[in-house]
Amino acid sequence: MKRRVQSLVLFTFLTLCPFAIPLCAQTIEPTAKTVAPPKYDISREVTLTATVSSVVSQATSEKKMLAGSHLILETASGKIDVSLGDFPLTVEGAPSVSAGQRVQVTGVLKTVRDQRVLMARLALINGRTYKVRNAHGFLLMPAANKETAEAKGGRL
């Protein structure tokens, strides 16, 4: 009888032990998470007026650039890669940009893959302002794609 009681106590102890571990774990106070800085801070925007060195209509992985269209601007401090995102430079109605042309671009400078990149929000090309991103840094849908979406019965 004594052996049976000892076995029952041991069995009960071993069955309840796994439940004690989560109870202790839940009593630990959660640590506060640090808030990551926003990716596009409009208070850090800069406006560059420079000469276009080259135009990249579609970046490739070999060029180590962000996806989308790019303008390479020649400034007094060197060349700056301007990311236009999905902004089309080769479709009908797109602004014609060529090497040697003066443009004005407003955006935030970032370091991406060890290169300085200006994430463009506004681009002044041939006297016309093009909106590339909104004030939060999100890419805007190009006008050519908007028309296609509305023609299919959808609106974004």
CATH assignment of the domain containing 82: 2.40.50.140
What pTM value is reported for the model?
A: 0.64
Tell me which H or E stretch contains 130: strand 128-131
Assigned domain for 62 exists:
yes
Segments forming the whole domain that contains residue 63: 42-151
Q: Based on the structure, what is the number of domains in the chain?
A: 1
Assigned domain for 21 exists:
no
pLDDT value of position 145: 46
As given in the structure block, the two tokens for residue 144 are: 């050519």
| Lowest-confidence segment of 17-21, 67-71, 79-83, 108-112 by average pLDDT | 17-21
Assigned domain for 82 exists:
yes
Q: How many CB atoms lie within 10 A of CB 7?
A: 10
What sign for the dihedral angle of Cα 98, 100, 101, 106?
positive
Assigned domain for 68 exists:
yes
Assigned domain for 94 exists:
yes
pLDDT value of position 46: 94
pLDDT value of position 154: 43
